[in-house]
Structures are given as structure tokens and as C-alpha cells.
Structure 1
Amino acid sequence: MGLIEKKLFPGKKAEDIPALAKAETEPTIVPFFADHQIMVEPYELYQRLLRERPVHQLGETLVMMNYADVSAALRHPDVSSDDQHGVGQQAKIASGELPQNLIDTLGQRSFLHRDPPDHTRLRGVVSEMFTPRRIERLRPIAQQIVDEVLDKAAPRGEIELVEELAYPLPIKVICTMLGIPAEDHLGEVAWKRSQLCCDFEAPAGAGACLSYSAGVQDEMTLYFDRQIAKKRDNLGDDLLSVMLEAEARGEITTSEINDTCRLMVVAGHETTIGLIANGMLALLRNPDQLQLLRDKPELAASAVEEVLRYDSPIQFTRRVAAKDLEINGTRVGKGTPIMLWLASANRDPARFPDPDRFDITRTDNRHLEFGGGIHYCLGAPLARMQGEVVFTTLARRLVNPQLVQDPPTYMPEAVHAINDMALTFTPEPASALA
């Protein structure tokens, strides 16, 4: 039994655990994908797969684990982000396996799941709101939110990092950017984090996950229909107003505005939660790096990049071959689903020296966490800005921070996503809060 098996399943043999027994002869990420215990600490497994099966087929799905292949696939012009090209989805629709109400939702796709020319058109409508100048205008807002959270926590000497900071911060920032009430998402309609983790645009699968995803999509669609109607008579300097002005010029439809709003809330939320939680965990486990950031806050941007590489908030992404093609010598048939494992690519020793070392001074840190090519994450600058604000402020203000539990609790229904992370620290004296 390997090291990861011994750490996660003490006293058991590999043959007692079906996923591990299978991997003894045929290692692949997929048997581990839904295994919560293993995905809490997956990186030793990734190193094994990078050595033994960096590219492999499992059923109809092609799995790619290493940096060179994942990077090439992300940038390949015939690798699509629209899973309606997939043979699996086409077969399910043809066979009647997918009910009509779920088939109908497949048309409600944001530009995240579209290809050119629609992708180019829709992304172009909102891209002006993600320029460096626009993002910097949100930095004081993010700083104020972080400071207010820490002001409340300071006298207690403790904070639940996810619930009190990592969850509300990106919701408030993206709602400010959109021009919609943040309190809705933190109060009355508060979509649970498990809902936002779910693929909010119904995937090609079937069963409970697909039905749940479609239900979340329906809730969000109705909410944004109301917000769009309100905003029409009250345009301002915000993203929703920009889209409504583009609608008046015939560049986007009302339905597409709703699709984009849903994307912005979900995509602008989950990656940033993971960035904050994973980053603070890495800093606390590497106190020399936390001290370095405390001494040199100018390293904040570099620290954010290293967190994204070292413990990627989004562990994988899906693509599909739009036609017969080849990726670094691997032939891929038209309609083949492709699973691109970003987190293992970001730990590939062929690309990153000493990849399992957390080093906020690392140079040439071109990780793949935000994707690549035309689908490179539009919101990357927004997530980076929030990470910089959080890490520098926590490093400066938290004296002797300690994890209450290591490892923290991870979400059972998500892939490597921290659910809660309690910290203690030396309380700030009242004079420091004045």
C-alpha cells in the first residue's frame, strides 16, 4: 500500500478499498474523483499519475494530467468548451435518457460553455468591466470589507475564515460590480455554497446531480429576471447596466444577460473562496512564508500566483473534441469528452522545479488555474486583487494565527473545497481598533 493509502486509511489494505485496489493495476484519477477522503489530500496521488498514466482513456473520456498536454488542449482551436458536442450528451438526448425540461436548459448557456462566434460576442460585451482600471476601483471596497470582518473578529481572537470572510467577500464584490443587492445573496435568497459549487449550467450527465443543477439554474434565472427588470429603469455605472445598454444596440439578448449574470456570481465566487481558504492554509502550514509576506507585503501578487499553482481552487475542467484532432501526439476522436486536470498540471515536475514546495517567491509561475486560450478566465484579475487584499491584511493583522483543526473540513459534495476553517490568534487590544 502506498503512502497516500497509509495516511488516509490506516490499518487497511489496498484490496479492501475498491478505488485503491483498482488503482494498483490501473491508476487513474476517476476512481478517486468522488472519494472524499482521498481528495482532501490528493497531491501524492497526482504525482503517481503524472509518472504512470499522465494521459489515459477511461470509457469514452480522455484524461490528461500533465502540464504540456493540459496546456495544449486548453489552447487547441478545435477543443470546445460546449459539451453539446460530446458523443455522450448527443446519445442521451437521442435515446430519451434526458427529460425534456433538462434538454431545454441546455440552451441557457453562458459564454463559459459557448464557442466562437457567440463566445467572442458575449465576452466582448462585458470585457470592458474587467480592465485593470476597473478592477482597481474595487480594491478599496474589498479592503473595507476585509477590515470590517477583522475588526469584529479582533476582540475575540478567533475567526471562521470561510463563513466570515472567504464566502461573503467575493459575493459582495461581484454584486457591487453587477449593481445588484449583495444582501440578497447573504440573506433572503442566499444560495447555499453547495449550490454555487454545483455546475449551475446543466452538464451532460443524468440523475440527481443534473436535476439539482437544473433546479439551481431555475432559481437563479428567476432572481436575475427580476433584477434585470428593475435595472432597466435605473441604469448606472455597473456591469448589468453595461449589458442592458448593449442589448439596446442589439449586441446581446435578455436571456443572454441572465446567463451572464449567473456566470458572474458563480464564477466570481467559488474560485475566490478557494483562493482565500487554500492560501491561508498553505501560509499557516508554511510559517516561514507567512512571515516573509508579513515582512514584504509587496510579495502579495506573487503569493497569490503560488497559491493558485500549489493548491488550485478549481482542480479540473472539462472540454470536448469538436472534430478529430491530435494533442501532442495523442489522437482524439470527434465528440470525445476530455477531462483536463489543472491541479496536477500545476504540480508537474517537468514544468515546475520542486513542485510540492510552497514558495511565494517562485518565478516563472505560469500555472493553468485560470485556463488558457480564448477561454482564459475573464475574472482572473478580480480574483487576484481580492487575494492580494486578503493575504496582506491577514498577514499584517493576525498575530500568532493557528489552525483549530488540520486538515480543515472539506465539502463532501465538491472536489477539494474547504468547507470551514477556524483560526485563533492573539486578540487585538482595544486601542489598536480605534
Structure 2
Amino acid sequence: MAVETLLERITDYANRPDPYPLYAELREVRVVRQTDGSYLVGAYHDIAALLHDPRISADPRNLAAPYRGLAPEEDQISFIRLDDPEHHRLRRLAMRPFGPPHSPGRVGAMRGQIAQITQELIEALEGRTRIDIVEDFAYPLPVTVICRLLGVPREDEPVFREWSATIIDFADIKPGEDPTERRQAGAQALAEMGRYLVDLAERYRGHPGDDMLSAFVNDPDSALTCEELAATAVLLLVAGHETTVNLISNGVLTLLRHPNEMDRLRREPDLLPTMVEELLRYEPPIQMRQRTPLANIDVAGTAIPKGAPLILVLASGNRDPKRFRDPERFDPARLDNQHLGFGSGIHLCYGAPLARIEAQTALDALIPRLGTATLVQDPPPYRRNAMLRGPRHLLLET
């Protein structure tokens, strides 16, 4: 088939269970213009270079006029879709209550809570002969963690889960589709979730607790406007659980498909950290990112004009044989593993340290209990989203 339709084929739901042959096809040409005017990039070194290139913008408002329909309508967009210096300013303010240098112990101090939540979820599975790893474990763990971290009442989860699903759908890449309806629904969900989180933060003003929303409104050095607070809080709540759900569920699926490697992990539990890094390479929760050139650029001999949609297929780069030895093999002990699972450059994933702890803790607790588990369906049903790829359900018989 023509490489000019690769993006349509990659985003076709029929290919969600296994997009990797299409990624291999992309890597053969490295860069290719699609019928919708976007450019796909699939080779590791090309992607890494572009993620560090100051001529490449994360801000969709820099798209050329024919592609402006892809840009968000909301008043304030989150810092992951902004460029420096605004990106740096907002990311620095968001980091104050989360990590170094101002809060160096925040994530590490949550290890005990994460272990406790994990144990409670494991105990709830005892005695059951059929479980859904996504609904019973991979989703509630990071949701509970991010709620505690931000100061969001866990009982409000059904409300923000619906908002989150709409926002994730809005962010998906769907060539050939009129995005108007998704844009409107996404903008509404962003606004409603933003108002909810700002109102919640205001309730903490003058009454701080040990949570990030309290810190945002009570720290005199946190100069976030109301709009910036809304966009930042929405980003942390949505990104703080959506990607980790996929990381854990993709991890369980991969281990069940590789029983010899799972047996090895039972014998060598010290491999867990490198195994999680290998999962981020082998089955990354985020498959691709969209960027925009601020100038005419050349990538692997292909001229890409200023303002054109540029799709960096991170999951393709993660299996590039020119960067990784035997890239199609799942190797929990892989050491040379500078993967793109959390991106790279100035937009390297803000929550990566927390996601790593959650995944390590979750899989450490699950691996001893997966010895007799079998998949009810393989491949399982996947989420519709092509960019944020993971099982919608993962049913096991135990």
C-alpha cells in the first residue's frame, strides 16, 4: 500500500492491536507526507533530534492556516503545548509543589501510600476467578494517587472520568475526520473540569493541606493566573492517570504474552526498574506526538514547510533497529535503553518519576499472582485513541 496513507492506516481502529508492522513500513522511508498534508517521522534519531530542535513548536496555534482547525479553542492551553519562555515559566511554577528543587521529597514520600493503595486493590481481588486488570486495578491505582496528590475528592471520580475521556478524545489524531464536534466537546470538557478544579483550589485558599492545589493557591511565589491554574490542574489530573493506566495494563498484557520473562522476574525481582523502562520502549502508553515547524526544515532529505502538521511516531522510534539491538524482542534486562516513552527534550514528561513508581509497585504486586492467570481474549479490546494506546479491558481468568 502507499505510504501516503500510513497515518490513516495507523489510526484505523482495526490496527490498534498491532500497529508495529506499519511503524516498520514508516521507518523504511523515515519521513513521508500524508494525504492530509501532515508529515510522519518514524526513525529514532530523526525524532530525537526534532524533539530537541528549537525550530519545532509544541503549540498548535502555530499551524498554518489550512490546518488551524486542529488548534484548540480554549482560552488557556497547558504548558505541554506551549513553547519557551512561557512553557518554562509555567512548568517551573507547576514543579514547585511536585519536585526538585522546592519539593524534592514529594514523589518519594508517596511510595508508602502507593504501596498501601496497591495492597488494598490486590486484597479486593482475592477469591475472584475473573478480573478486569484495567477496571479493577490499572485504573483505580493512578486515579487514587493523583486525587490524593492534587487534593481532589475521590468520590468525584465519576464526574472527572467523563471529562477526561472527552479531553483525551479531543487530543487524538484522526485524519480525514471533521474535528468540529470533537473540538467543541473537548473545549467544553476542558472548561468544566478547569472550573471544578479552580473552585476546589479556592476552597483551600487560607486553609492549606498537603496537596498540590493547596500549594498553588497558598504559595506566595506561585504566580499562576486563574486560567493558568485551570489549565495546569487539568493537565496534571488527566495526564496523571491516563498514561499510567496504559503503562500498567500494557505491562500485564506483555508479561502474560512472555511467560518466560515473567518467570525470570519472579526469580530476579531486582529487574523490575529496568523492566518498566523496557515496557516504556516496547509498548509505550503514548504512541505519537504532534509538532509544528516554525520554519522550513529538512528531515532525512524531505522538505517540510513551516506550519505543516508534524507527527512524531515515538513508538516507531522505540523499535528502530538503528538505535536498539533486537528491538522487536521484549528484554526486561535491557540496559542501553534511552527510549522515547516519556518523550525527550524540554517537554520530557513532567510526571515520569511518579509513573515509574506506580508501575514498579503495581507490577511487583501483580507478578506473583499472574502465574495461573490466562487471557480471556487476546488481543483484548483496545481504547479508541490511537495516540494514547492501551487495552480498554483486560479480562483474566485466575
Q: Structure 1-normalised TM-score?
A: 0.84
The answer as to 2:92 corresponding to 1:116 is no
Structure 2 counterpart of 1:54: 30
Code of the aligned partner of 2:340: L
Could you tell me how far 1:44 is from its partner in structure 2? 1.6
Give deviations 1:16-43, integer Å, cap 9, x for gaps.
xxxxxxxx23354212133111122111
Task: Choose 236-245 or 170-179, whichever is displaced more.
Answer: 236-245
Match of 1:392 among 356, 364, 380: 364
| Match runs of 1:77-92 below 5 Å | 77-88=54-65
C-alpha distance in 2, partners of 1:250/1:414?
A: 35
Q: Which has the larger radius of gyration?
A: 1
Could you tell me how far 1:60 is from its partner in structure 2? 2.6
- 1:320 match: secondary structure: strand
Q: Cα–Cα, structure 1 residues 287 and 115, in superposed 2: closer, same or farther, change >3 Å? A: same
Task: Choose 408-417 or 81-90, whichever is displaced more.
Answer: 408-417
C-alpha distance in 2, partners of 1:214/1:348?
A: 36
Give deviations 1:3-23, integer Å, cap 9, x for gaps.
xxxxxxxxxxxxxxxxxxxxx
Q: Cα–Cα, structure 1 residues 125 and 142, in superposed 2: closer, same or farther, change >3 Å? A: same
Code of the aligned partner of 2:218: E
C-alpha distance in 2, partners of 1:47/1:382?
A: 31
| Match runs of 1:277-356 below 5 Å | 277-327=249-299, 329-356=301-328
Code of the aligned partner of 2:79: F
Structure 1 counterpart of 2:99: 130
C-alpha distance in 2, partners of 1:270/1:166?
A: 10
The answer as to 2:50 corresponding to 1:73 is yes
Could you tell me how far 1:192 is from its partner in structure 2? 6.2
Q: Structure 2-normalised TM-score?
A: 0.91
Code of the aligned partner of 1:168: P
Number of equivalent positions: 390
Give deviations 1:85-143, integer Å, cap 9, x for gaps.
110467559xxxx9xxx74x1x3211011111111111111224134632121111111
Q: Check conservation: 1:28, 1:49, Cα contact below 8 A.
A: no
| Match runs of 1:114-263 below 5 Å | 114-128=82-96, 129-131=98-100, 133-185=105-157, 187-191=158-162, 194-199=165-170, 206-246=179-219, 248-249=220-221, 251-263=223-235
Code of the aligned partner of 1:45: L
Q: Cα–Cα, structure 1 residues 332 and 422, in superposed 2: closer, same or farther, change >3 Å? A: same
Could you tell me how far 1:198 is from its partner in structure 2? 2.2
Code of the aligned partner of 2:283: D
Q: Cα–Cα, structure 1 residues 413 and 182, in superposed 2: closer, same or farther, change >3 Å? A: same
Q: Cα–Cα, structure 1 residues 196 and 286, in superposed 2: closer, same or farther, change >3 Å? A: farther
Q: Cα–Cα, structure 1 residues 231 and 254, in superposed 2: closer, same or farther, change >3 Å? A: same
Pairwise CA RMSD: 2.4
Code of the aligned partner of 2:56: V
C-alpha distance in 1, partners of 2:66/2:347?
A: 21
Could you tell me how far 1:391 is from its partner in structure 2? 0.9
Give deviations 1:337-359, integer Å, cap 9, x for gaps.
21000111101111111111111
C-alpha distance in 2, partners of 1:81/1:413?
A: 20
Code of the aligned partner of 1:375: H
Q: Cα–Cα, structure 1 residues 348 and 88, in superposed 2: closer, same or farther, change >3 Å? A: farther
The answer as to 2:9 corresponding to 1:41 is no
Q: Check conservation: 1:109, 1:201, Cα contact below 8 A.
A: no
Match of 1:267 among 212, 224, 239: 239
Match of 1:373 among 332, 336, 345: 345
C-alpha distance in 1, partners of 2:172/2:84?
A: 18
Q: Cα–Cα, structure 1 residues 216 and 359, in superposed 2: closer, same or farther, change >3 Å? A: same
% identity of equivalent residues? 36
Could you tell me how far 1:313 is from its partner in structure 2? 0.9
Q: Check conservation: 2:134, 2:393, Cα contact below 8 A.
A: yes
- 2:311 match: secondary structure: strand
C-alpha distance in 1, partners of 2:319/2:160?
A: 38
Q: Check conservation: 1:302, 1:360, Cα contact below 8 A.
A: yes
Structure 2: where are the runs of 5+ without partners?
A: none
Code of the aligned partner of 1:241: S
- 2:16 match: secondary structure: helix
Q: Cα–Cα, structure 1 residues 203 and 210, in superposed 2: closer, same or farther, change >3 Å? A: farther
